[in-house]
Structure 1
């Protein structure tokens, strides 16, 4: 009998942890999916994520409104996305190199402006209590889900529908798959890619706000732990499909929640190894998809990695 509660505790903790940990992955991967669908890669999303986290925390602390912090984080990410898009629209500019430069730039900005906010406590985003009906405090706490998770899930559905059925979705896909066809139809490649990169940055900034205002719910310089870069690999794993990005984010979230879930029932041996599960999973995915025929099968044709 003693094993059943432990098993249920682990499963519940895994599910709740997967939802919490997956939310930043979800927003960043959806942002990168939109950007790459237009034929551009943005490797600077790690810096965008950290800058968004700092902006959200600083805004929530100074104004007392965590939701205003989320909005400011989105526009902070938007600003870096616009900068990335404008630089990449210049002739003979490599989008991968620009992304790396902006990753360092965004991280540096966050560290510089965020130092006064490392110690103060900002108000956190409220959750939706889905487990109060159980009468069990542990279950109720685990099922206290942040609304941003549901926003991200709905956004994945809207993006998948939009890419398939809307005129704007068709334009984005055409720009990403055939620059010649887009030019022939009279569309500006630079303008479409600028908009997509900016919106991708906006979503990544919101993902950063979740880190600082919900889980783990603080601001420090090691907050991201490479999640922005992992999300780029996640998009490749999801084959540039928003719905698969949602599933892949939950998979990575479950891997990240494995260590804390086992620790909740007293299993601490190998804790640091379990905490490394998302990075090990990323490595395994990249090794498994190393073949160009497999990893780039559904990639937009205009991406620099496909040419």
Structure 2
């Protein structure tokens, strides 16, 4: 029976991101005026909803031991397609962006599962292809959305006093948590990440599960692109640069192993909020006038924070493996 100390360390390793998030919120509340004000809270939720959707899809991919570098370019492509279709109404714009994301996800799934190409190489290729398609469709410029069809409500609207993008992200995460924890699909996804060959020997549909996570990742990235276009009033063919890095960071900070087999939807959401609040706090610091950090330095700070969290998690994981 494991001693109390390793059990405590294991809990800290599993819930460390939540503890860090609560500590960051407390710090911001004590240091800045209006940090927990309605405007700031809703702004953070509205803006980070896009990153939450991309991170959710990335979490599933990483749980299988894969990686999806194409999510940023897919979101950019989805935003352009949605903007081009927005004059026809909210639904065509939404479905168009989703379809664009699904198309990229389908290519990833086919190349990885049927042609046995490494996910890093396959998604790097589709990242370049999706970026090129977005630029071609947009004519190398932003594509304005229609303000007359209600399309912008997907990004700028509120429902029951809560941003519509946040509602969409919340619904996606609730459905994602149920799918991962309460369905055979979720168990198969984790099994593939733990040991793909053993999963096949048990008769589980390993290839089908691997293909499905790339379809989900592509669809969620496309949906994030729809929100991007609706929120900023234009399809952005050069947007999405670095989104894959944010998503990977949020997933890793949330405790999902890059080697696969272990992961949590809830902790991924906490990771998204944690990284989003770091930028928010840095903006508040700039506002105080005591320091002045450009966007470049903010990226340095967030990268250093990510490295610190990963090192701490690795140390905690190592301690849980020590004999009692």
If the TM-score is normalised by the length of the shorter chain, which range does it land in? 0.7 to 0.9
Matching residue within 152, 158, 172 for 1:128: 158
Q: Which residue of 2 aligns with 1:53?
A: 79
Aligned length: 275
2:193 partner SS: helix
Q: CA RMSD in A?
A: 3.1
Structure 2 equivalent of residue 194 of structure 1: 211
* Counterpart position of 1:181: 198
- Structure 2: unaligned runs, 5 residues or longer: 1-31, 256-262, 319-324
- 1:163 alignment counterpart: 180
Distance 1:122 1:294 in 2: 51
1:236 to 239, 247, 252: 252
Counterparts in 2 of 1:257 and 1:221: CA distance versus 1, 3 Å: farther
Q: CA deviation at 1:194?
A: 0.8
**2: distance between equivalents of 1:236 and 1:48?**
21
Aligned equivalent of 1:75, options 99, 113, 134: 99
Q: How does 1:1-307 map to 2 (within 5 A)?
A: 7-8=33-34, 11-60=37-86, 62-63=87-88, 65-90=89-114, 93-115=117-139, 118=142, 120-123=144-147, 124-126=152-154, 127-128=157-158, 130=160, 145-214=162-231, 216-239=232-255, 240-258=263-281, 273=294, 277=298, 280-290=301-311, 293=314
| TM-aligned CA deviation for residue 155 of structure 1 | 2.4
TM score, norm. by length of structure 2: 0.73
Q: CA deviation at 1:70?
A: 2.1
What is the Cα deviation at residue 55 of structure 1?
1.4
Moved more, 227-236 or 119-128: 119-128
Change over 3 Å in CA distance of 1:222–1:272 after alignment to 2: farther
Assess if the C-alpha contact under 8 Å between 2:141 and 2:237 holds in 1.
no
Q: Cα–Cα, structure 1 residues 178 and 155, in superposed 2: closer, same or farther, change >3 Å?
A: same
Contact 2:70 / 2:126 at 8 angstroms: preserved in 1? yes
Structure 2: distance between partners of 1:110 and 1:165: 37
Structure 1 portions without partners, runs of 5+: 1-5, 132-144, 298-307
**Which secondary structure does the structure 2 equivalent of 1:224 belong to?**
coil
